[in-house]
Amino acid sequence: MDLTVWRAFVTVCRAGSLSAAAAELNHTQSAVSRQIAGLERSLGVSLVERHARGVRPTPAGEAFRRHALATLNEADRAVRAVQAIRDGVGGRPLAIGATPSLAAGIVPEAVRALLERAGSIHWSLLPAVSAQLHSRVVAGDLDIAVVTDAPPGLTVGPTVDRRFLGLDEMVVVLPSDHPQAGQGKVHIQALADQTWVEDNDGSATLLRQHAARAGVSARIDLTAADLPGKLALVATGHAIALIPRVLTRALRADVTTVTLVNPPTRGIYTITPRRDPHPCSAPLRDLLAAAIDATRPAPAAHRSGATDGHAGAPMLHHDISDS
């Protein structure tokens, strides 16, 4: 099968319409339509169906899309590897995945340190939720992913190795002029009447669980599409929010953070393929662990945070292999 046709199909699924895909691929709409029809004939099944605003993959199309995307990503990596050797850069490109909060903070720091040690490396970074990153590692289009065990927890699989990097406590982000700003540690009860905003189910679950343990509830009245949107609502005074401590060094200037008493925590891990791991994965993992360690609060505060379901976890480089 022609990978050009596969790329057209994946683009149609992402764009949601033949015309949008054609514009992105610099093809005519009729050419894209013929490519999809030919692919359907070769597979003997319908891959897309029309709806009021465009097209979407059928169940068979969605199954094919996932595998096609992994194949195309691997093909692109193969081309980049050859180009790197041709251009004298050498080495195997490093594909990294990370949750949004980690991609915004410690991962770029660790990659910078890696480049200072290892020299020039072609690398890429994909932000996504932990379950999606696990799937991308299994599919072979990520060499290493930095994930968390925040709800709903980590995915288990036999083809990846998982290693604990450190424990990260959650903090509350506030507008810089909030009355609680600069007040030191805060009990969740003092914030129970506040409006909260969340951008993902994992963080919202941690907040609700923490509030419930304290005998109060958190009013999550606002929902943001992503982390920047969440911080924008906080900065403009509409809400407060729960965020990971590792993100604090990458925050915008018009917000601040306070620490909770006995804060909720989450573990941070790397996952890598068991077969043919990238040679840079191990040194990057060590640099990530060091970056996480640098964000930790004082030991006493850390010990109080570690009571939230991770007793004994803060021992770096603890190996956990999925089975």
pLDDT of the residue at 307: 34
Q: Give 107-137 pLDDT, tens digit per residue.
A: 999 999 999 988 778 888 999 999 999 998 9
Q: Give 143-174 pLDDT, tens digit per residue.
A: 999 999 999 888 888 899 999 999 999 999 99
Q: Is the peptide bond before 314 cis (omega within 30 degrees of 0)?
A: no
β-pair partners for 223:
198
Domain assignment present for 102? yes
In angstroms, rounded to a whole number, what is the distance separating the alpha carbons of residues 236 and 177? 10
Name the domain boundary from 39, 74, 109: 74
Sign of CA dihedral 92, 98, 101, 102: negative
In angstroms, rounded to a whole number, what is the distance separating the alpha carbons of residues 192 and 207? 11
Q: What are the tokens at 121?
A: 């490396």
Residues 6+ apart with CB under 8 A from 155: 130, 131, 134, 135
Number of Cβ within 10 Å of residue 219's Cβ equals 14
Helix or strand or coil: residue 121?
coil
Domain assignment present for 16? yes
Q: What are the tokens at 216?
A: 């109060």
Same domain, 46 and 194: no
Same domain, 156 and 181: no
pLDDT of the residue at 38: 94
Same domain, 103 and 177: no
pLDDT of the residue at 90: 56
In angstroms, rounded to a whole number, what is the distance separating the alpha carbons of residues 131 and 26? 33
Name the domain boundary from 74, 102, 122: 74
The reported pTM is 0.68
Same domain, 259 and 194: yes
Domain assignment present for 79? no
| CATH assignment of the domain containing 43 | 1.10.10.10
pLDDT of the residue at 117: 87
Same domain, 101 and 243: no
Domain assignment present for 254? yes
Same domain, 141 and 290: yes
Q: What are the tokens at 46?
A: 């319908």
Same domain, 285 and 253: no
Structural domain range at position 121: 90-167+266-321
pLDDT of the residue at 299: 55
Q: What is the pLDDT along the chain (323 residues), one digit of tens a residue?
A: 689 999 999 999 999 999 999 999 999 999 999 999 999 999 999 999 988 888 999 999 999 998 898 888 888 877 877 776 776 655 678 999 999 999 998 999 999 999 998 877 888 899 999 999 999 899 888 999 999 999 988 888 889 999 999 999 999 999 999 999 888 899 999 998 999 999 988 889 999 999 999 999 999 999 998 889 999 999 999 999 999 999 988 898 999 999 999 999 999 999 999 988 999 999 999 999 999 998 876 554 333 333 333 333 333 333 333 32
In angstroms, rounded to a whole number, what is the distance separating the alpha carbons of residues 33 and 9? 9
Name the domain boundary from 50, 74, 98: 74
Backbone angles phi, psi at 281, to 5 degrees: -60, -45
pLDDT of the residue at 155: 83
**Residue type at position 23:** A
Number of structural domains in the chain: 3
| CATH assignment of the domain containing 136 | 3.40.190.10
In angstroms, rounded to a whole number, what is the distance separating the alpha carbons of residues 303 and 313? 10
pLDDT of the residue at 316: 34
pLDDT of the residue at 21: 93
